[in-house]
Structure 1
């Protein structure tokens, strides 16, 4: 069961605990010890997918398996490089890609574009899991399986609006049970820096800072133990323009201890950027990783164009 759009949709666990039958005459609860039952629940989650995307579809929150392999490189850069070089060799005025790669280049799921592709090709796949069957069998299984589910499954968010709605604006009674979260967020420059523009308590710090505060509270007071945060810009700006230290000043408290931050590689070296960027070797309160940023950007007219920060002189 992934987060619902309203906390009222989550069952009242104290009431369930008070009214659940022990079912000691059943083979499952009467003969199998708890540790064996938990092993069975764990296999349910493995079969269903231990990483689950949470996203909005037709105005409702839903989920689908995440297919991204940790450490897997984004092959879209290689494909774009080939297309770009073909354009240079042919001296044509536009980039020509087929529909499949065009959709991949423009995916709003960021580095999880394969997950979106699979979800769109097989919409029924997200319903073929064992989450609901386990949780709807009976009250006792719901209570046991729920703890196991949220301790085992990582929820993956690919847009700030859904993450903010699910965790900040409308959390459910099961949100405190979350152990692991992943985010791959492409945000406008101003949203990423909003909390630095309006630093007084009377002013809204913005959804990004509010999300970081909520995550910090989930680590401090509840069960959250692992967070991975991948950031990029959603507008046509170079990453070196981002004040990384400003943007990540929203990360406070105990959150940093269990946080891995993934940022684009900085492609320029300017001395005046030093106070704002994390340089190699700098100590950070969180684990910092760099990844190669995508080499293209969409335009209002539709076709892709090479980002200015990746343009190289024409070889002569």
Structure 2
């Protein structure tokens, strides 16, 4: 995985600038003869092109000769410590991004309170009584594609942030020597929690151009708010899907300790629903040693079973823990106005239809996406 290189390191790899010459010196005199090149010895096996990039085992180094790999990994783990580990919920959480043709990583600044999936709406409940707070601002956080747990991290990316929090010792350790490089990369993958917040970055990292050390990942967090076209292959039984390819790549990681997958629709609206049974079918084969949590959208107030859109059966045994987001009670149905609403069900004949009713106005907002019925 490529990491941002500090300016000091970039200076080491900067090609030497050619010495500036005067315009009169650019053209050599016609009678000037070049110097005869010195006789160079024939290349030996040690200086052959193929051997110059070979790995030196560093057998004379006490660090590699006398210190076992287990102790070396403990030393690497001490190097990764920084003064901000105790300030956030995930001490070593790193959000991975692929933007504009380059990889970058930023610290996860999620707080312990953000584990409460209803924490944003609880803050919106206090605004009418306290008359302090911006409902539109909280609505943006409620609809964040980074999820209700990492909305602070998204705001840091979109706005100016404290860059010292994101600093790491990754590059300085990887440039020590070739022998140490694979051990350092493996230690990074084993020691940190990798967080992905879009399907493009996750697919590129695990499927399109995976690192040979990706199997060493221990802690992984995926927050995927997908467009409907990403779920369509599961509804129409198409074999090719970026989500399926991602699940297959995760299945090749044999030593995952902690895994959390959050699935949702991109717009995160009140009526959102995904084909849970078909999307989750592959996840049952993943091998996770400790904690495996699957976060899904809230259940709709009525049963909705269009073809191939069945919800996950809560009574069915699964190797993961299912967490449901709380139902929405605030949304921006009109630009610039965030309204509190409630769900209502009306029965007509043998069918029951669900409506959204804003608290302040006597109007009904019908389901625009799905046909709801018992």
Alignment of 1:70-219 (within 5 A): 72-74=115-117, 75-83=119-127, 85=128, 97=134, 101=138, 104-105=141-142, 107-110=144-147, 111-119=149-157, 120-122=159-161, 124-125=163-164, 127-192=166-231, 194-201=232-239, 205-216=240-251, 218-219=252-253
**Pairing partner for 1:35 from 61, 66, 70:** 70
Is 1:268 matched up with 2:268? Answer: no
Change (3 A) 1:238 1:100: closer
Instruction: Give distance in 2, aligned partners of 1:147 and 1:198.
Output: 40
Instruction: Give distance in 2, aligned partners of 1:133 and 1:277.
Output: 48
SS at match of 1:139: coil
**Is 1:3–1:172's contact at 8 Å kept on the other side of the alignment?**
no
Change (3 A) 1:76 1:312: same
**Is 2:273–2:297's contact at 8 Å kept on the other side of the alignment?**
no
Change (3 A) 1:252 1:103: closer
Is 1:246 matched up with 2:284? Answer: no
**Is 1:260–1:286's contact at 8 Å kept on the other side of the alignment?**
yes
CA deviations 1:30-57 (Å, max 9, x no partner) are 6654433221211233437522111234
- Point out the structure with the larger helix share: 1
**Is 1:20–1:139's contact at 8 Å kept on the other side of the alignment?**
yes
CA deviations 1:275-299 (Å, max 9, x no partner) are 9223543322433222325544456
CA shift, 1:158, in A, is 0.9
- Unaligned stretches of 5+ residues in structure 1: 5-14
Question: Please, what TM-score do these two structures have when normalized by structure 2?
Answer: 0.63
Alignment of 1:50-89 (within 5 A): 50-69=92-111, 72-74=115-117, 75-83=119-127, 85=128
Change (3 A) 1:236 1:191: same
CA shift, 1:24, in A, is 3.3
| Max Rg structure | 2
Instruction: Give distance in 1, aligned partners of 2:339 and 2:198.
Output: 23
Number of aligned residue pairs: give it: 289
SS at match of 1:79: helix
Instruction: Give distance in 2, aligned partners of 1:25 and 1:262.
Output: 48
CA deviations 1:139-187 (Å, max 9, x no partner) are 2221222222212222100111211122122223332332332111212
**Pairing partner for 1:228 from 252, 260, 267:** 260
Aligned match of 1:282: 316
Change (3 A) 1:251 1:308: farther
SS at match of 1:148: helix
